[in-house]
Structure 1
Amino acid sequence: MNYSDKRNVQSLLEIAYFHGIRTVVFSPGSRNAPLVIAFQRDDRFEKVIIPDERSAAFFALGVIQERREPVAVCCTSGSAAANYLPAVVEAFYQRLPLVLLTADRPREWVDQGEGQTIRQEGLYREHVVAEANLLVDSPSEADRAYNDRILNEALSMAALREGPIHVNLPFEEPLYGLTEERFIPKKIAVVGGRPQLSKTELAEVIDIWNTASKKWVLVGQLLPGPHWADAIHQLAKDGSTLIWTESTTNLPEEATIGHIDRVINTLSDTDLDDLVPDVLLTFGGAIVSKKVKALLRKNPPKYHIHVDFKWPQPDTYRALTHGVIARPEEFLSHFLPNIQPSNSAYRSTWMEVAQKRREAHNRYAVSAPFSDFYLFRDTLKRIPSDWKLQIANSSVIRYVQLFDDGRENLHFSNRGTAGIDGSSSTAVGMAWASKEPVLLLTGDVSFFYDSNAFFNKVVPPSMRILLIHNGGGGIFRFIQGPSSTDALEEYFETKHATSAKGIAESYGLNHREVRVEEEWLEGLSWLLQEGDGPRLLEVYTPGEKNADVLKSYFSFLREEA
């Protein structure tokens, strides 16, 4: 068998496989030819080609979310590598093991007018957990040992799954050479090394918890895990504890308040004073609700305990007093046996409030006019329970938080940085890697921004897209500020008349339009049916009316309180 004649490439493949990398997403180029040739010949790795680098990196995030394992992306040098950055920052804040393999020209050509040559070393430095800038292939044993060592150091972080990793590989020409000689690099295993919880420090946290009269558990974005359900039910036995979740928490709802804004956005100042906790215990990633962030920042708890393996930990509510360096499941295994449930009425009182809001929500929803709200009401109750949801950012993710339906599905969203870029590509990546159908819920601006998500040959037949077309960035009609200016439509909302029909035809997506209420349920039924080829349902809703409907919804909940 012939191998790449670049020793660094042979080392990379062996060390990458050793540290758990099995999938590589390629974007075409010339400088990465040694990597392409080597991976293409190695059956241990699954390969996929996504031409657009920005889309490719987000595609890889979808694969990581589905498979819970590191995935590599590989590109040529220069601006190609720069196009990975939006997905890199998303992976960094979602803590996803995205492995970036960027080909480069030798260092002596940087800033010398050579094509596709930029200052590539350290390109992502502020948003990766490890990086390895390899030396050019050399006969020096010291250079080879150095490259093998830094490859092991960087790629071992993939096994820990704590964030993105960058490996920069400079290649001299020629790029397409092969050899029969096989190089076996040094491989370094990572064993142990995780911090142990201090019994003394944990005792302090347990004492704070057991002596408090009003306690919150607020759980952010999580990848699904079976160990959480039992923990939530045990915490819910405490009458002084409220558990708050969102759809992206992917936890069972019966013991939690899973619709934060439905409760907080409808309370008087007096009620909010009664609600705010003495102790806040937090897990997980980003929280969607701006209301709960504002509430806790304005009324900080006496103690805020955040549990995370990573340090430093975020002080999201400006109230952090205890950062517990541990994986949540490890912390809970020590914490739960030592908590002392209370007979307080705090929990039952607020669970009753949440139930009343649920009943008011249902009364409003049943008679809501045709609008974005109306579409979410009908869609979420009809999605097959084994389907997975990829939810775009901006108003789409916020609408989903208002509804009870659809919570049996697994919910995913790029909430690391909460940008609109990459939602479609991430959904395609998950759909490609998943055995179950994936439904993307997206707005029009997000969809068109990431239309290259479908510029490839791997969009699976099970892919489904609900495109809510309200003519622009509808969220700017909801949030305070933009709607009070004369720049709303042109500069914030960016109103447009673009249709997805041409994109669908170009990329082989089956497409239907819905422009009036009477066509809606038939269109939705078509979208949710099994069929040959990916399907895109584009539904037009009235942009100005959408804002009025949402405002009237919250007004109704307040009046019914």
Structure 2
Amino acid sequence: MPDDNLQNAAFKWSTTFVRALYEEGVRHVIISPGSRSTALTLAFSAHPGFKTHVIIDERSAAFTALGIAKESGIPAVLVCTSGTAVANYFPAVIEATQSGVPMIVASADRPPHQRGLGASQTIDQLKIFGDYPVFFHEAGEPNEREQSTKRLKMASRQAVQHAMEQEGVAHLNFAFSKPFEPKAEYLEEVEFENGKLLQPPPSYSIKQGNMELGETFWSDLVSAERPLIVVGPASASDHPEKNEYIHELAQTLKAPVIAEPGAALPSSPQNIQGFDGFLRNEKNRNLLNADLILRFGAQPVSKALNLYMEQSEAMQIVFRRAGRWNDGSLSGHKHIDLTGPIAIPEVTGSAQESWLATWKQAEQAFNVFRNEQLEPSTPLTDGLIFSTVTNQFPDESFTMLSNSFPARDMSLFGDFDGREVYMNRGAAGIDGITSTAIGLSLSSQKPGVLFVGDIAFLHDSNALLQAASVDKPLVVIVLNNGGGTIFRMLPVHDIRSKYTEYFETPQQVKIAALCRAHGIHHTLVSKPDQIAPVFHKLKKRNGLHVMECMTDAEKSMEQRHALWNFKLKLNPGS
């Protein structure tokens, strides 16, 4: 191979890969700097069709890619060097796999002849993520053979299509020997050629016909007198317009709909809010006893809703994506693979109007009780933050909820009907929450709000390094209650000699100082009358802003318990 060809080999190989991804409609790449990945980095930077994001922390980078794909439904590409760099993607790979989010990992590696010899920054990267990816390909070392080039192009297409159709992670491992950098003139030549290849992205919709179900199935459904529809968190490919058939089904059956935050369901008069409060009480569950439960989306987050389904004697039909078993409560009687929107025939359900009316009465009665409990007072509570802020959400905005209490408090205190809400519920960890929200912002170019606890915020503090990349308003509401108070829900809370040190782990970090170190605007909220005016101001300001709310853990738990113990006074059928 002539010297120029040798010098340009890695970059030319990488350019073939990059162009193939572009043709498949991929537009975002997140690059973590490194030496071994130089050729990949330069190939992406030389293609003006890609939006490049440089993030030094690989774990944060991976969750940013997750956020981009959650919003767009299109995989973003992750580029990193060899060694532990790629291992730092693992938490996001797990979350993407289990929540159905497409992602592509392009990792650089040493060539085979240098592996297993103690070479620096070398680990076993072949199938490093085990069975989590939906596609893995060892790209091999760069070469000029026509068949090899064709295979690389095909692997690029496979990566995109597997990631989108199977809703998961594709991993390609690239082996590079030095030299990594091309000749300067060749880099300029490729960059010029790429500029002439720009084109609009192809249509990403996977065409599906309506799903036909038999007469016997519909006969069973329309005979139900107390039907209920439950919708858990959605996958990345689910959008409200695709899920409108669920409301059509609810109207046909005259069924109330319990749609959790993140369900990607449009607003509807049949949607029920406040369920995480009034369904905690066993007597309330008995008053609202269904005889048929139809379930869509992932396993619900709400403990109250899971209790309802576990204790119900109703027939439960779980509609699931192929290969995804979303029945953590083990209460489903039938599991049906969804191949597309359900085609609804000309049928009429047997439920009386009083069935839905009873649920709406429960919703209204609980809402009145909740408002009484949330009268502004000192000290500040988590519930009051949710109640106040969700009534002021900007139009056409998104909301990201951290795991632990925020994912639950939205259902208990907030107004989220028809809202664009996201959560990382695949593995439900507290990793990368702020990074995911930044990814959502970069992809959607909409205003956004993140609710995150102090521990989860500190867990992903490296996300603040990329705050400058956020153009639209992104208000990060840090609910600082001094530690991991989610554990107060568990029996271990009663073991006071061990609880605080080993579980709640109070922290003393000055979040204002952390923000100042990163050049980020910070506002401290400690009184109820500060919440609305501060949020009203921040939601209009471009960029990432931290709104730190000092809430009282004890008072917040008292409010939650009060709502969980709420007793309905209803007569079914009245």
Residue in structure 1 matched with residue 9 of structure 2 by the alignment? 5
Cα deviation for residue 141 of structure 1 reads 4.9
Q: 1:538 is paired with a residue of what secondary structure?
A: strand
Residues 10 and 4 of structure 1: is their aligned pair in 2 closer, same or farther, counting only changes over 3 Å?
A: farther
AA in 2 matched with 1:282: R
Q: 1:546 is paired with a residue of what secondary structure?
A: helix
| Mapping 1:228-247, distance limit 5 Å | 228-229=243-244, 231-239=246-254, 241-247=255-261
Residue in structure 1 matched with residue 27 of structure 2 by the alignment? 22
| CA distance in structure 2 between the aligned counterparts of 1:462 and 1:122, rounded to whole angstroms | 39
Residue in structure 1 matched with residue 292 of structure 2 by the alignment? 279
Residue in structure 2 matched with residue 413 of structure 1 by the alignment? 423
| Mapping 1:137-148, distance limit 5 Å | 137-148=142-153
Match of residue 38, structure 2, among 27, 33, 38: 33
Cα deviation for residue 63 of structure 1 reads 1.6
Residue in structure 1 matched with residue 219 of structure 2 by the alignment? 207
Residue in structure 2 matched with residue 56 of structure 1 by the alignment? 61
| CA distance in structure 2 between the aligned counterparts of 1:421 and 1:190, rounded to whole angstroms | 32
Deviations 1:269-320 (A, max 9, x none): xx53454444332222342202222332343543423232x22533333233
| CA distance in structure 2 between the aligned counterparts of 1:69 and 1:192, rounded to whole angstroms | 10
| Mapping 1:350-361, distance limit 5 Å | 350-361=359-370
Cα deviation for residue 259 of structure 1 reads 2.9
The reply on whether 1:546 has 2:556 as its aligned counterpart is: yes
The reply on whether 1:306 has 2:319 as its aligned counterpart is: yes
Output the TM-score relative to the length of structure 1: 0.88
The reply on whether 1:297 has 2:305 as its aligned counterpart is: no
Residues 304 and 29 of structure 1: is their aligned pair in 2 closer, same or farther, counting only changes over 3 Å?
A: same
Residue in structure 2 matched with residue 469 of structure 1 by the alignment? 480
| CA distance in structure 2 between the aligned counterparts of 1:82 and 1:115, rounded to whole angstroms | 15
| CA distance in structure 2 between the aligned counterparts of 1:212 and 1:477, rounded to whole angstroms | 40
Residues 375 and 284 of structure 1: is their aligned pair in 2 closer, same or farther, counting only changes over 3 Å?
A: same
Q: Tell me if structure 2 keeps the 8 A contact 1:4–1:37.
A: no
Match of residue 337, structure 1, among 330, 345, 357: 345
Q: Tell me if structure 2 keeps the 8 A contact 1:73–1:100.
A: yes
Q: Number of aligned pairs?
A: 546
Cα deviation for residue 51 of structure 1 reads 1.0
| Mapping 1:54-453, distance limit 5 Å | 54-160=59-165, 162-178=167-183, 179=186, 202-222=214-234, 223-229=238-244, 231-239=246-254, 241-251=255-265, 252-268=267-283, 271-273=284-286, 275-299=288-312, 301-308=314-321, 310-327=322-339, 330-332=340-342, 334=343, 336-344=344-352, 345-366=354-375, 370-407=380-417, 409-453=419-463
Cα deviation for residue 527 of structure 1 reads 3.0
Cα deviation for residue 157 of structure 1 reads 1.8
Q: Tell me if structure 1 keeps the 8 A contact 2:232–2:260.
A: yes
Cα deviation for residue 532 of structure 1 reads 5.8
Question: Which stretch shifts more, 279-288 or 519-528?
Answer: 519-528
Which residues of structure 1 form unaligned runs of 5+? none
Cα deviation for residue 27 of structure 1 reads 0.6
Q: 2:524 is paired with a residue of what secondary structure?
A: strand
Residue in structure 2 matched with residue 558 of structure 1 by the alignment? 567
Which residues of structure 2 form unaligned runs of 5+? 195-201
AA in 1 matched with 2:259: T
Deviations 1:178-237 (A, max 9, x none): 4589899xxxx99999887885x6444323322333322111113432243464155135
Q: Tell me if structure 2 keeps the 8 A contact 1:238–1:342.
A: yes
Q: 1:48 is paired with a residue of what secondary structure?
A: strand
Residues 286 and 11 of structure 1: is their aligned pair in 2 closer, same or farther, counting only changes over 3 Å?
A: farther
Question: Which stretch shifts more, 517-526 or 532-541?
Answer: 517-526
| CA distance in structure 1 between the aligned counterparts of 2:134 and 2:519, rounded to whole angstroms | 38
Q: Tell me if structure 2 keeps the 8 A contact 1:280–1:301.
A: yes
Cα deviation for residue 120 of structure 1 reads 0.7
Large movers: runs of 4+ above 6 Å: 180-184, 189-198
Match of residue 493, structure 1, among 500, 504, 521: 504
Once the two structures are aligned, what percentage of the paired residues are identical? 25
Q: 1:236 is paired with a residue of what secondary structure?
A: helix
Q: Tell me if structure 2 keeps the 8 A contact 1:463–1:534.
A: yes
Residues 300 and 170 of structure 1: is their aligned pair in 2 closer, same or farther, counting only changes over 3 Å?
A: farther
Residues 195 and 549 of structure 1: is their aligned pair in 2 closer, same or farther, counting only changes over 3 Å?
A: closer
Cα deviation for residue 541 of structure 1 reads 1.6
AA in 2 matched with 1:352: Q
Cα deviation for residue 68 of structure 1 reads 2.8
Residues 396 and 414 of structure 1: is their aligned pair in 2 closer, same or farther, counting only changes over 3 Å?
A: same
Question: Which stretch shifts more, 8-17 or 189-198?
Answer: 189-198
Cα deviation for residue 125 of structure 1 reads 3.0
Q: Tell me if structure 2 keeps the 8 A contact 1:286–1:416.
A: no
Q: Tell me if structure 1 keeps the 8 A contact 2:221–2:349.
A: no
Residue in structure 2 matched with residue 508 of structure 1 by the alignment? 519
The reply on whether 1:460 has 2:471 as its aligned counterpart is: yes
Q: Tell me if structure 2 keeps the 8 A contact 1:25–1:49.
A: yes
